[in-house]
Chain A
Amino acid sequence: MGPPNAGTGSERPLLSVVDDDESVRESLPDLLREFGFAARAFSSAEEFLSSNCLGETRCLILDIAMPGMTGPELYQELRRRGHEMPIIFITGQRDETMRARLLKQATAGFLLKPFSDGALLDAIKMALQAA
């Protein structure tokens, strides 16, 4: 399903971003809005869990390495709570074994920073279609 019209006021799917890096939290939501989505950013897994966006979030864009609860740990916790939204992992660290493992766990996507806007959009589309 393609991005809806920007100005119609009809429902935009919510994408949530969880990353401890400030520049990611600043830049990514704007790009996502240009894609036509609604976006919200959180600085930690704990912040996201204690928000009221869990049910609404259509897709989660999640950093792997974070202080406190890590990305994979948040993924486990969400599944435990019964949330089945697709997850796209983003990370600055190239780690093939982790990538393979996470993909096996049926995450929707895995992107290495820095990624192009095209790659991100493709991953989001695939994630929402699979959902």
Chain B
Amino acid sequence: MQEQLEDPAREIRRLERCINDLVSLLALPAIWSGSEPGQIVPMLLDGLLRMLRLDFVYALLNGPAAPEPMDILRVADSCDVKLTPDEIGLRLKEWWFGCDNKVSFPVGRTRFGQEDISLAPVPLGIQGEIGVILAGSGRIDFPLQTESLLLGVAANQASIGLREAMLLVEQKRIADELDRRVAERTAELASANAELSRSEERWRSVFENSAVGVALTDLNGRFLATNPVYQKMLGYSEQELRQLSFLDVTAEESRVSNRMLVEELLSGKHRQFQIEKQYKRKNGGLVWVRNNVSIVTGGEREPRFLMALSEDITQRKQSEEALAKARSELARVAGMTSLGVLTASIAHEVNQPLSGIITNASTCLRMLSADPPNVDGARETAHRTIRDGNRAANVITRLRTLYSKKEPSVESMDLNEAAREVTALSLSELQTGGVILRWELADDLPPVTADRVQLQQVILNLLRNAADAMSTIDDRLRELLIRTERDEENHVRLSVRDSGVGFTGQTGEKIFDPFYTTKTDGMGIGLSISRSIIEAHQGRIWATPNDGAGCTFSFAIPCRPDDAESQVDGPDSITDAA
């Protein structure tokens, strides 16, 4: 269309208006910032409608510009033509999208209803991929150059704005998706953590409540974690142990071999080792332990560490040591109680002086029958005879004192230790008999002044009787319980409880009588002698049937013989050592 240049002033005003409109258009993206596509396009169309005094303006947006393809129509109030978006859309399709050449857009005049409308389509996006704006005006000269320019710029701005809006929409969509995924993942982690917590709790419980001591150390032996049993065994707290290494708490003599074993472990030569050694407790005391040490691979992130399972074997060691000591004691005890050996020992002691007497007397007679009689010699032999006779008398007195029950050789002793010693001797016998041994030794048992060997004879007697009582049992466990406790004031009590055949009412009275026995090969003097021994200690010995099977033999003696003003009354028992 050619412009008319007859009226320059009018032309200038027209150009001024055009420039103002351009400036407005250029300001639009700033206004649009943050808006959605659905808000941008109507705003633009309203602007265009006004600026160009159009009859209508239509926009079609494709997928990239809007969540869904949409079309918007703005009709001027002054326009008489009834228009619908669909109608225009159809026209657009047949006319615009039918062209091969999409880059340059043909301008056309077409009939809408009763009116002829000049149409100017403007593509949005470089190749119209965003959509298209269609401006319609009744004027024949539409669009002028300036109007085309404005439409082009408007389309450009619209593209920019729409693109930005779409980016925001996409961003929001992605953000929402991210939120959703994070929430999902968080829930997963929470669930996994809960599971881990439960598992961790379980293992923690195992660690804390294990029956043996557990200690974890790093590869240098420094304590990482210990359980209560271990801490108690050594007398240190968890924090104190963390400052120490296991060699610090090991007795010196075991350190070298201990270190060597650990080195073998670290070098991979072995996967675990056992060691029996002594720990040094915080208070300086020693405790025998048996340790099982292994190397633990920590997993991908954790370094390796050492784990020691530690069992207190002090009791066993004490028993072992006591066994060796007690063996010789028993030999002596057995020697003393065996009548045959007793007799031989007495006989030997007495024979020496007797022999001297007979020899000297024989010599005396010969000297007196010599010719002349050797009176001096005879006198000498007579003297020796008398002296030897006195010697023999002394031996007998001494032996009587030694073996007399009236005067035991007393010392201050620990009843627990004595019981352990004598039990250690019978251990293999008991084990062969399938007997399960249990201990309930009082920690606070006071020392007692007594004849150690004699009390051990009594305990041995009770143990043997208990084992015999259980020897025919095969429908229940053969359990033997040895129990010590303080009794009343200043008495100590030891009980031996078995799960054997027990005894009936009448038997109970007689068992302490001499020579009473239910055994075919027993001498029946055991309990009678035991009673004598205990009574010599101013104590009492008695037997009670158990609630369950078997019976319990007990004796109680005063800690100091002179302190026994109040005789211990035995419990309500069927039998009472009178």
- Which residues of chain A have a CB within 8 Å of any CB of chain B? 6, 21, 23-24, 26-28, 30-31, 34, 92-94, 113-117
Query: Cβ of A113 and Cβ of B362 under 8 Å apart?
Result: no
- Which residues of chain B have a CB within 8 Å of any CB of chain A? 344, 347-348, 351-360, 362-363, 366-367, 370, 377, 380-381, 384, 387-388, 391
Which residues from chain A contact B362 at a C-beta distance below 8 Å? 31, 116-117
Once bound together, how far apart are the Cα atoms of A116 and B344, in whole Å?
21
From B344, B348, B355, B366, contact of A24 by CB (8 A): B355
Once bound together, how far apart are the Cα atoms of A31 and B357, in whole Å?
12
Once bound together, how far apart are the Cα atoms of A20 and B383, in whole Å?
21
Query: Cβ of B363 and Cβ of A24 under 8 Å apart?
Result: no
Query: Cβ of A23 and Cβ of B356 under 8 Å apart?
Result: yes
Once bound together, how far apart are the Cα atoms of A26 and B357, in whole Å?
11
Write the nearest CB–CB distance from B465 to chain A, whole angstroms: 34
Query: Cβ of B360 and Cβ of A114 under 8 Å apart?
Result: no
B interface, over-half SS: helix
Query: Cβ of A27 and Cβ of B384 under 8 Å apart?
Result: yes
Most interface-central of B363, B367, B381 (chain A CB within 10 A): B363
Most interface-central of B355, B356, B388, B391 (chain A CB within 10 A): B355
In the complex, residue of chain B having the shortest beta-carbon distance to the beta carbon of A20 = B352
Q: Taking A26-B384, A31-B359, A114-B357 as contacts, is the C-beta distance between A21 and B366 under 8 angstroms?
A: no
Query: Cβ of A24 and Cβ of B352 under 8 Å apart?
Result: yes
From B351, B363, B377, B384, contact of A113 by CB (8 A): B351
Which residues from chain B contact A113 at a C-beta distance below 8 Å? 351-352, 354-355
Which residues from chain B contact A94 at a C-beta distance below 8 Å? 344, 347
Query: Cβ of A31 and Cβ of B355 under 8 Å apart?
Result: no
Which residues from chain B contact A31 at a C-beta distance below 8 Å? 359-360, 362-363, 366
Query: Cβ of A23 and Cβ of B391 under 8 Å apart?
Result: yes
From A23, A28, A34, A93, contact of B353 by CB (8 A): A23
From B348, B360, B366, B384, contact of A93 by CB (8 A): B348
Query: Cβ of B358 and Cβ of A26 under 8 Å apart?
Result: no
Write the nearest CB–CB distance from B426 to chain A, whole angstroms: 30
Most interface-central of A23, A92, A116 (chain B CB within 10 A): A23
Query: Cβ of A23 and Cβ of B352 under 8 Å apart?
Result: yes
Write the nearest CB–CB distance from A124 to chain B, whole angstroms: 14
Q: Taking A23-B388, A30-B381 as contacts, is the C-beta distance between A114 and B354 under 8 angstroms?
A: yes
Query: Cβ of B360 and Cβ of A27 under 8 Å apart?
Result: yes
Which residues from chain A contact B360 at a C-beta distance below 8 Å? 26-27, 30-31
Q: Taking A23-B388, A27-B381 as contacts, is the C-beta distance between A114 and B355 under 8 angstroms?
A: yes
Query: Cβ of B352 and Cβ of A21 under 8 Å apart?
Result: yes
Q: Taking A23-B384, A23-B391, A31-B366 as contacts, is the C-beta distance between A114 and B348 under 8 angstroms?
A: no
Most interface-central of A21, A27, A31, A116 (chain B CB within 10 A): A27
Which residues from chain B contact A117 at a C-beta distance below 8 Å? 358-359, 362-363, 366
In the complex, residue of chain A having the shortest beta-carbon distance to the beta carbon of B360 = A27
Q: Taking A30-B377, A115-B355, A117-B359 as contacts, is the C-beta distance between A92 and B347 under 8 angstroms?
A: yes
**Sample (17) of A-B pairs whose CB atoms are under 8 Å apart:** A21-B355, A23-B352, A24-B355, A27-B359, A27-B384, A30-B360, A30-B363, A31-B366, A34-B363, A34-B370, A92-B352, A114-B355, A114-B358, A114-B359, A115-B358, A117-B358, A117-B359
Query: Cβ of B366 and Cβ of A114 under 8 Å apart?
Result: no
Which residues from chain A contact B352 at a C-beta distance below 8 Å? 21, 23-24, 92, 113
